């Protein structure tokens, strides 16, 4: 059995802001741009009690919470904390897969300090993070990534939860399907229509029926319901994709504006690729229409996509599939990924940073 830890900082951006400004402590705050089209990057736990959450528009958040304080983001600080926690993790293992600035998986099956109990490593790490950054985090410990991730979310904030192999099935029985990785809004509606609300009910559905309804994900859900997830913790240099996205000041629908906007996203993407040295051959275009519906399309090349000259024509090609003249665009995103998997990570909402 492997030993996996998933670590996730609590209300990350908001906690950093509250740490650095005493007057914000204990108050409902959100981090984001206070602009008509601004979105909430994260909400402090105080703000969450009003129903405010990530990805909500700032305007809506203000309506929900009259005393809401809006704080501009300080990405340099978040990156610094991120580096600190990454360094602390390396004390235990080099098999670390960062998911975002504040979140990472660690495989501690064999670890540098010879500790048998992964929970002890999680405890020690949480403590060291607190001492060095003055921020709390939550950790989940289990024998695979799927369960470790769910466990870290279980007792947030400042949580620590272990799911032993012997407890896994019982734990999954009571797990709401919306907590399961890969179950988004659409999948959830479908699951509910099939009478699947929890892990126990999911386990009762035959594989054939799951694949009929959910395609490739059907097998994944089938395995998850049985506590099976063999995916490995992949170190950062094995990252699968790189992407960025821009929300426009105004919805756009004329060709010139779209091409200019697309050009800017390409430049941003290329600079990210240069900084990371990422080598991918698949380009994915993501569009959010004025009504917030999302469309993605991809194409795969036989060459590494790392320059503007290679990416721009392909991006334009993909854009031809988008009927933006009828449906104005709110957001344009582009990502490059490895050939086999179009892993388009929902990147920071502030695609420009």
Kindly determine how many residues on this chain lie close enough to bind ligand DCP according to the rule CB under 6 A.
Answer: 17
Distances (CA, A) of 273 to 71, 222, 266: 29, 36, 10
Nearer to Mg ion, 102 or 306 (CB): 102
336 binds ligand DCP (CB under 6 A): no
Footprint on residues 137-196 left by ligand DCP (CB under 6 A)? 156-157
Element (H, E) at 185: helix 185-193
Helix pair angle (255-276, 308-319), 10° resolution: 140
17 binds ligand DCP (CB under 6 A): no
107 binds ligand DCP (CB under 6 A): no
Nearer to ligand DCP, 9 or 258 (CB): 9
Nearer to ligand DCP, 54 or 57 (CB): 54
Per annotation, catalytic residue among 46, 103, 245, 348:
103
349 binds ligand DCP (CB under 6 A): yes
252 binds, among Mg ion, ligand DCP, none (CB under 5 to 8 A by kind): none
Instruction: Kindly calculate the radius of gyration of the chain based on its CA atoms and give it in whole angstroms.
Output: 21
Question: CB neighbours of 227 closer than 8 A, spacing ≥ 6?
Answer: 144, 146, 147, 165, 168, 169, 172
Site string for ligand DCP, 237-276 (x = CB under 6 A): ----------------------------------------
Q: Which one among 4, 5, 7, 9 touches ligand DCP, defined by CB under 6 A?
A: 9
78 binds Mg ion (CB under 5 A): no
DSSP state of 334: E
Tokens of 106: 């660690």
* Mode of pairing for the β-strands spanning 69-71 and 29-31: parallel
Element (H, E) at 238: none
Kindly determine how many residues on this chain lie close enough to bind Mg ion according to the rule CB under 5 A.
Answer: 4
Q: Which one among 5, 10, 243, 333 touches ligand DCP, defined by CB under 6 A?
A: 10
Q: Is 103 annotated in the active site?
A: yes
Determine the Cα–Cα distance for residues 313 and 206; give it in Å rounded to an integer.
45
Active-site positions?
A: 103
């Amino acid at each position: 059995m492997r030993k996996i830890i998933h670590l996730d900082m609590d209300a990350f951006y908001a906690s950093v802001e509250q740490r650095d400004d005493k007057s914000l402590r204990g108050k409902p705050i959100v981090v984001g741009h206070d602009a008509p089209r601004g979105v909430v990057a994260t909400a402090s736990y105080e703000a969450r009690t009003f129903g405010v959450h990530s990805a909500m528009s700032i305007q809506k958040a203000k309506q929900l919470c009259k005393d809401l304080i809006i704080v501009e983001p300080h990405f340099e600080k978040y990156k610094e904390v991120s580096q600190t926690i990454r360094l602390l993790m390396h004390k235990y293992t080099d098999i670390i897969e960062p998911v975002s600035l504040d979140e990472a998986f660690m495989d501690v099956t064999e670890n540098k300090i010879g500790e048998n109990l992964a929970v002890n490593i999680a405890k020690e790490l949480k403590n060291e993070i607190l001492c060095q950054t003055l921020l709390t985090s939550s950790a989940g410990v289990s024998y695979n990534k799927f369960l470790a991730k769910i466990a870290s979310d279980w007792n947030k904030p400042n949580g620590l939860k272990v799911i032993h192999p012997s407890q896994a099935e019982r734990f999954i029985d009571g797990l709401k399907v919306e907590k399961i990785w890969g179950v988004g809004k659409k999948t959830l509606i479908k699951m509910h229509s099939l009478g699947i609300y929890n892990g126990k009910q999911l386990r009762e559905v035959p594989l054939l029926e799951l694949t009929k309804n959910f395609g490739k994900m059907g097998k994944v859900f089938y395995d998850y319901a049985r506590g099976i997830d063999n995916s490995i913790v992949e170190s950062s240099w094995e990252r699968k994709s790189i992407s960025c996205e821009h929300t426009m000041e105004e919805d756009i629908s004329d060709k010139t504006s779209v091409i200019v906007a697309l050009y800017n996203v390409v430049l941003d993407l290329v600079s990210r690729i240069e900084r990371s040295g990422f080598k991918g051959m698949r380009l994915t275009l993501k569009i959010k229409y004025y009504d917030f519906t999302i469309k993605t399309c991809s194409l795969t090349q036989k060459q590494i996509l790392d320059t503007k000259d290679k990416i721009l024509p392909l991006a334009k090609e993909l854009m031809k599939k988008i009927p933006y003249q009828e449906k104005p665009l709110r957001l344009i995103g582009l990502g490059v990924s490895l050939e086999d998997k179009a892993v388009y990570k929902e990147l920071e909402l502030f695609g420009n940073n």
